Structure 1
Amino acid sequence: MKKYAICGLSGRAFNMFIKPFLDKYHKEHSIAALLDDDPLREAVCKNRFPELCSIPFFQAEAFADMIEEVKPDAVIVAGRDDTHVRYILGALKKNIDVVTEKPMVTTVKDAAAVLEAEKASEGKVTVTFNYRYNPYHRKIKEMILEGKLGRITSVDLNWYIDTYHGASYFKRWNRMRKYSGGLSVHKSTHHFDLVNWWLDQKPQEVFAYGRLNYYGPDGEMNPKKGEARHCGTCHVKTKCRYFMRWQAGDPEDDHIKVNENQHPLYTGYRPDACIFDEEIDIEDTYAAVLKYDGGVLLNYSVLFSAPYEGYRLAINGTKGRLETKEYHAPGRVPFEVQEQTIEYFPLFESKETIRVVRQPGGHGGGDPLLLEELFSGKDPLRDYDILAGAEAGAYSIAAGEGVWRSIKEKRPIGIEELLHSRQYT
């Protein structure tokens, strides 16, 4: 029986790890300890999962005591992004394995510290990049490995986050860079890691533009400036287009909580803060170009206030091109959408349309497959690796931080410069 300590009792911890542990993986894996900054989260967790009532709870400052007392075989890190580093480094110091939510950490300084700590430790870090396991993304990886595109020359990736999901980041702690690293880290690490993995190359340099266009006090849809508000108790919410569009919420999406009854789930924190608040200090629009060490060029953009959610991808190679377009959460799209396919264009032959077998579960079916590999082992029929480690986590963070630093410093940013320069680390 392998014992785990859950560090950070977030909604993600509940749904991605604790529930599957109790439902499917309990015969060989057990939860030995719970830890969080907020003691109220213990009550919330044990109320939802009565099976854990006898499991000891530790506050964050007692992490070392927890390790000594419980002696877990591994820790699962799933709290607020900026808390990850303390648990990762603490576990590695004790030669304990770490499974961490993405982003691994929020800064290149912390990413470099994790890489160094892992080198000196018997423990290893696994980063749960679940989008790698999406069946479309695996098929794209397989097509590249089969050589169908030849040598990859360039990638175009445009990601769109709709007004429901996009606004959620600006209601919560994500809206402050000190907690999330900004959305080019918190969210775009998903996207950069996908491209890094598909290419099996490391990003070398990034140049980017970006700004806050939709949210913050100067957002054009702000119904009233100059005061802090919460959606659940806001006196001008009927004049807010974002609130009125999504006031009923989406029962299939846990990213956004606008109900005033949510705040008792945390001490001193409500996840329904106004998307037009003064304290917002991150961007909602990015456009970037990345150069890879194998010569590939990536054109990347992401928008956090789009009419629909999804992405457009094109990958060009010396033997052909592939294209795919996804509409995520079609129930939130106010028009009919087509099923996702992969269109393959050989350089001198007829186009092929590839339909991928879809799978149930979060992130396009990626979550269950990730958990299966984590807790049951690699699929013996798959001849390539998907599971990510600390180096993959670090390069995705360096790309994300490189984006906002390029915006701030108005220059190209070298990725190795970020990871290894004393200026940043």
Structure 2
Amino acid sequence: MTASRRKFLSSISMLAASSALPIHAFDFGHSQKLKVALIGTGIRGITFWGKRLVDEYSDILEFVGLCDHNPSRLQFGKEYIGASCPTFVDFVTMVSTTKPDLVIVTTKDSTHHEFIIKGLEMGCDVLTEKPLTTDEIKCQAILDAEKKSEKNLIVGFNYRWSPYATKIKQLLKNETIGKLVSIDFHWYLNTYHGASYFRRWHGQMESSGSLWVHKATHHFDLLNWWIDSEPQEVFAYGDLEFYGKNGPFRGKNCRSCEHTTNCDFHWDILKDGMAKKLYVDHEHADGYIRDNCLFREEIDIYDKMSAQVKYANNTIVNYSLTTYSPFEGWRVAFNGTEGRIEAWLDIPYNKNIQLGQEELHAKEMEQSSQEVFDIEPIIVHKLWNDYETINVATEKSGHGGGDQRLQDHILKTPDKKDEFDRTAGLRDGAMSCLIGIAARKSIEKKQPIKISDLSSLRPKSKRS
């Protein structure tokens, strides 16, 4: 076994270590390179978990199979990734034929559980994109499958690895403001990025579980990690009052709509080179329309959301998600027994931001290897003292530098101890999506929802 392969095996074991379930050492067989199979050739699959792996880690891994129900998009995905492996439209056939060591799942959220469970049952270790799944029944099925299996499941969280989020973790870990008491966390999606979810399958509850699950799982994972505890109870409000049936007019899709001249949200997908090549050119095969109308009647997810989360260590969180903000960014404030920490990113009037809102989102999603740093502040208030400004070197591309750091730690420096415990396992994935699931159920039932009522997991006062 090569040295680089030993490092990879070690890193995967480290990732699995945060699961509360029995852990078995990852065993990828005896091949010289890790054999990887990918299911789901959408944008996240072919970029972050596809092309970037080929470009950066070909010395320790190789793709042995790619799978998607759309054969036309599948072929484009193979070419974009730069893989030389066979392609399949059936997952079981791919796994039984290629016998991969690791299966990477980047399909529609509501189908994650199918491929996670089948992959484990067929003797593969599995890495899934967030969110883990979309409801409590599927979550429990995944937990049961992993427990029965001799293989392991990991969830690819990246926000933890950004330098800015890590600095906040360091301050809290060092008890800079004493014992943590409460948090106010507000996330703003702009009318470009926020609207994009309502154009796609994400706009329907049965596919995404709502943005409580698909998007906010990122935010809830950050909270769980920052607080170093697990959620106990959730109470939430939410409604759909901007997109969907609330729109002033609607059309079949953006490119053929008769309201293009008077709709502020009009988006010409034919002028977006990547979107056209990845989606429009292949919609004949499965009927998936990437530029659906934001105001179509079948949209049933919430576009405004607010929740209160009580943690097992008695920390209280107030959280909100806005999907049609004039700008994209977030604010968080931590209240402690000895002071307060305030942090934010991309609030335009706090900083002279030159890029437009569409460009800002494109930059965040970009997988750039160039380290272009900016300086962002974190404010620390101590009781009876003046505030202190802590400047943090940050990056914009790849989710604030989190994407590259996540993969580099797993694949290049797995033996290096991570003092901030940024690696995320199955329990982390479950706890983050269960907050969103609980919030959705709380809105439906108009009552608080206990996390312990949703699965066999019992919230711990201290997660690490």
Please give the TM-score of this superposition, normalised by the length of structure 1. Answer: 0.89
Matches within 5 A, 1:46-85: 46-49=78-81, 51-52=82-83, 54-59=84-89, 62-85=90-113
Matched, 1:380 2:404: no
Match of 1:12 in 2: 44
Offset of 1:232 from its aligned partner?
0.9
- The residue type equivalent to 2:302 in the other structure is E
1:22 to 54, 77, 80: 54
Offset of 1:339 from its aligned partner?
5.6
* CA distance in structure 1 between the partners assigned to 2:437 and 2:328 by the alignment: 23
Q: Deviations over 1:270-300 (max 9, x none)?
A: 1100000001011000011010011000000
Match of 2:289 in 1: 270
Matched, 1:94 2:122: yes
Unaligned 5+ runs, structure 2? 1-32, 359-373, 458-464
* CA distance in structure 1 between the partners assigned to 2:396 and 2:324 by the alignment: 27
1:204/1:372 CA distance change after superposition, 3 Å: same
- The residue type equivalent to 2:42 in the other structure is S
Unaligned 5+ runs, structure 1? none
1:73/1:262 CA distance change after superposition, 3 Å: closer
Q: Deviations over 1:294-331 (max 9, x none)?
A: 10000000000000000010011112210011117952
1:288/1:153 CA distance change after superposition, 3 Å: same
1:342 to 338, 354, 378: 378
Match of 1:234 in 2: 257
Aligned length: 404
* SS of alignment partner, residue 4 of structure 1: strand
Match of 2:9 in 1: none
Contact 1:327–1:340 (CA<8 Å) still a contact in 2? no
- The residue type equivalent to 1:314 in the other structure is A
Q: Deviations over 1:341-393 (max 9, x none)?
A: 11011123231111112246310111000111232243726323211111111
- CA RMSD across the alignment: 2.4
Contact 1:152–1:318 (CA<8 Å) still a contact in 2? yes
Matched, 1:147 2:170: no
1:250/1:132 CA distance change after superposition, 3 Å: farther
Contact 2:36–2:104 (CA<8 Å) still a contact in 1? yes
Match of 1:216 in 2: 244
Match of 2:11 in 1: none
* SS of alignment partner, residue 344 of structure 1: strand
Q: Which moved more, 1:370-379 or 1:409-418?
A: 370-379
* SS of alignment partner, residue 392 of structure 2: coil
Contact 1:216–1:275 (CA<8 Å) still a contact in 2? yes
1:160/1:360 CA distance change after superposition, 3 Å: closer
Contact 1:108–1:394 (CA<8 Å) still a contact in 2? no
Contact 1:231–1:260 (CA<8 Å) still a contact in 2? no
* CA distance in structure 2 between the partners assigned to 1:163 and 1:249 by the alignment: 19
Match of 1:2 in 2: 34
Matches within 5 A, 1:11-410: 11-49=43-81, 51-52=82-83, 54-59=84-89, 62-219=90-247, 222=248, 224=249, 228-243=251-266, 262-266=279-283, 267=285, 268-327=287-346, 330=353, 331-333=355-357, 340-359=376-395, 361-378=397-414, 380=416, 382-410=418-446
Contact 2:73–2:279 (CA<8 Å) still a contact in 1? no
- The residue type equivalent to 2:92 in the other structure is A
* CA distance in structure 1 between the partners assigned to 2:96 and 2:410 by the alignment: 24
Offset of 1:117 from its aligned partner?
1.3
1:190/1:249 CA distance change after superposition, 3 Å: farther
* CA distance in structure 1 between the partners assigned to 2:414 and 2:304 by the alignment: 37
Offset of 1:7 from its aligned partner?
1.0
Q: Which moved more, 1:160-169 or 1:344-353?
A: 344-353
1:339/1:123 CA distance change after superposition, 3 Å: same
- The residue type equivalent to 2:66 in the other structure is L
Contact 1:95–1:123 (CA<8 Å) still a contact in 2? yes
Offset of 1:46 from its aligned partner?
2.8
- The residue type equivalent to 1:63 in the other structure is F
* CA distance in structure 2 between the partners assigned to 1:180 and 1:90 by the alignment: 20
Contact 2:159–2:165 (CA<8 Å) still a contact in 1? yes
1:64/1:46 CA distance change after superposition, 3 Å: closer
Q: Deviations over 1:14-33 (max 9, x none)?
A: 11021112211000011110
- The residue type equivalent to 2:58 in the other structure is H
Contact 1:361–1:368 (CA<8 Å) still a contact in 2? no
Match of 2:452 in 1: 416
Q: Deviations over 1:116-136 (max 9, x none)?
A: 111112211111111111111
Offset of 1:143 from its aligned partner?
1.0
* CA distance in structure 2 between the partners assigned to 1:328 and 1:33 by the alignment: 42
